[in-house]
Chains A and B, each alone.
Chain A
Amino acid sequence: MTESARKITPTRPETGVVAALEKAEWQSVLFAPRPSRYRLGFLQAAWPLNTIRIQVHRNHPFEFVAGLVPAFAAYTDLGVEFSYSEYDDALNFSGHREADVEILWLDYDRYAKFLATDELLAWLFGRLAHLRERSQGRILVCNWASTHPAADRFNRQLNTRLAGIADALVCDQAGLMSGLGDDYFDDRNIALAGSALSHAACMETARMFGLSWLPAAVYPRLKAIVVDLDHTLYAGVAEEDGIARLRLESGHIELQRQLSTLRDSGVLLAICSRNNPRTVDKLFRQRRDFPLGLEHFSAIAASRSSKVKGLRNIAGTLSIGMDAILFIDDNPAELAEVAAAFPGIHTLLAGTGPVATHEVLPRYPRLHQWQAHREDTLRSADMLANRERRRLRNEIPDSGSYLEALGMKLTFHLDPRHLRGRLHELSVKTNQFNTTMLRLSEHDITSRLADPDCFTIAVELGDRLSESGVIAALFARKENATLVVDEICISCRALGREIEAVILLESLQKMMHLSATDTAIIKLTRGPKNAPAVACLEAVFRPDGQQDSDHGEYSCGAQQLLNIPTCHCVTIRWEN
């Protein structure tokens, strides 16, 4: 699902430009404080969409919401195809069809007349477990938006307990109700259409589904936000107006705070500006009233040359693809130039007024986070430590001495159920070191963790400069007398420290020992970006037999593993 969603990333320059400029125009409609139903009806995407199938299980109408979702979803390159259950309080899932996303849209007030909260939860989780068994799709459960006294407790329990079901997530409908207050309900429609939702409630729900919940369900989260400076982070032009005269208005303060919060949640920040680097440095030293400081940015490209070049440098420094970057600039021509060069990049036209940047950013697609992982809070510090590692590497020309100086520690976890979410994230988000791009869902990983013939390993990395958290995942299974490694993924943050082979060999030895196998086969699918993974496998195993251009595999005997040289500057520890 996620992989298919990635396939439609525009690749032709003209498609990227059209999408970037039209999306900039759409901003005034989609991100308006109260979007207009009338204006929404005229938005037709002129760029390719990836259609996802959404099955709605409901006991009250969802059509008022669904009718408004397409324009919001198109902004995120998604086409939506809804199908509906009958109005079914019992959630029988009769006529269930294969879907990418399953939405539970229930009026819980109907149950509260007959069931206590605990009974309702027990029944609901029974039905969710049943749906989980039947569907491969992500399950989005809308919580209880109601003034009913039991709603708060129900929602808290739902949040807690839903974490136990793979790929099942809460859509905070109650939060939308709080935001809209009395405008959430419109009792006039109950008799006519069986819905108590107002126009505003339908619109906000559709906007959340189209811009936040559905993209977060099918796409990986964006990895970095790159911002322009002049007229984006503040009002004015640093080199013309002078640093002291730049205006930091309330919207800019809010925007900078939002960026800081996003950074804390794991999104990397970078600057791409045509200002002189000395001006940028002076700007942040002088303007202590800015909520953001230079230390918040993992990469800075400041030069007179094009922003295309700047973004290329930033992507290289952060080791991420353009399709994982949101670029914010106040100049549509800059957005167009960048989109022509990198059709997959995400762009946002910075501005002021009712759809000012700080109003848009919290709703911007693919920044919504269902659950935070420890690695999200470690990421920015780890990127900053990379600067120090580069400095160290330049100071210590000898590779072995450099690695020894880092004092690296690897902690291996076998079948770690508690790391299911992070394992899924690694499978979905890694590109450069991903051997097969299987894009395993949490559901897939849960099944593997429960299967005695499957082996799943998570690897944590730390060195004397920073903790990187879980940076690698390996998924394998025993097939007759052979260990088949279906996927190996390593975060790009961990590359360049010569630990890839250590992770591979240590894991293989453990899994072959536990599975009592004497041969391992490592599957490989060559993709557009996974050259580092291919190079590592080539270096460690060398190709075995005939291979076609895209698929291949490497095989290795247990004895052979012992003879493969690896870096010895790493401390290794196993848990469970």
Chain B
Amino acid sequence: MHKPDIETLVRECLSQVLKRPIQAGTAVAREDDGSWDSLRHVELVFLLEERTGIRFTQEEITGIRDSQDIVHLVAGKHGP
């Protein structure tokens, strides 16, 4: 999986879970987004795992602070 594909996938997942469109190149951070609470966070992880086939560790899940963290995490496990 190449980085642009991962970025698109992460954006789609965030958009589906946070229920709003997210433009390409826009970074989304948990602390800046009121709707990205712990419940949404778990839903996001469920969705990412389904679409990537990756299983994240508890530490990785709690360590996610923004969309870029997810891209790096997925790229690290699913990179070309």
Q: Interface of A with B (CB < 8 Å)?
A: 36-38, 41, 61, 63-64, 67, 187-189, 191-193, 195, 199, 202
Given known contacts A191-B58, A192-B61, A192-B62, A67 and B47 CB-to-CB distance under 8 angstroms? no
Label chain A's interface by main secondary structure.
helix
Which of B42, B50, B56 touches A64 (beta carbons < 8 Å)? Answer: B42
Q: How far is the CB of A339 from chain B (nearest CB, A)?
A: 31
CB-CB nearest 9 A-B residue pairs: A199-B46, A188-B58, A193-B42, A41-B16, A193-B38, A63-B39, A189-B42, A37-B47, A37-B50
Instruction: Count B-side interface residues using an 8 Å CB cutoff.
Output: 17
A415 to B62, CA, bound (A): 60
B38 touches A38 (CB 8 A): no
B16 touches A38 (CB 8 A): yes
Q: List 24 A-B contacts (CB under 8 A).
A: A37-B46, A37-B47, A37-B50, A38-B13, A38-B16, A38-B50, A38-B51, A41-B16, A61-B39, A63-B39, A64-B39, A64-B43, A188-B61, A189-B42, A192-B38, A192-B41, A192-B42, A192-B58, A192-B61, A192-B62, A193-B38, A193-B39, A193-B42, A199-B49
A365 to B39, CA, bound (A): 29
Given known contacts A41-B16, A64-B39, A192-B38, A199 and B62 CB-to-CB distance under 8 angstroms? no
Q: Report the nearest B residue to A202, measured CB to CB.
A: B46
Write out the residue numbers on chain B whose beta carbons fall within 8 Å of the beta carbon of A37.
46-47, 50
Given known contacts A188-B58, A199-B49, A193 and B41 CB-to-CB distance under 8 angstroms? yes
Write out the residue numbers on chain A whose beta carbons fall within 8 Å of the beta carbon of B41.
192-193
With A41-B16, A189-B42 already in contact, 11 other A-B pairs whose C-beta atoms are closer than 8 Å: A38-B51, A64-B46, A187-B58, A188-B58, A188-B61, A191-B58, A191-B62, A192-B58, A192-B62, A193-B39, A202-B46
Write out the residue numbers on chain B whose beta carbons fall within 8 Å of the beta carbon of A67.
43
Contacting A at CB under 8 A, from B20-72, are 38-39, 41-43, 46-47, 49-51, 56-58, 61-62
Q: Report the nearest B residue to A61, measured CB to CB.
A: B39
Write out the residue numbers on chain A whose beta carbons fall within 8 Å of the beta carbon of B38.
192-193
Q: How far is the CB of A69 from chain B (nearest CB, A)?
A: 13
A202 to B58, CA, bound (A): 18
Write out the residue numbers on chain A whose beta carbons fall within 8 Å of the beta carbon of B50.
36-38, 199
A192 to B57, CA, bound (A): 12
Write out the residue numbers on chain B whose beta carbons fall within 8 Å of the beta carbon of A199.
46, 49-50
Q: How far is the CB of A390 from chain B (nearest CB, A)?
A: 56
A41 to B47, CA, bound (A): 10
A192 to B38, CA, bound (A): 6
A38 to B49, CA, bound (A): 11
A187 to B58, CA, bound (A): 9
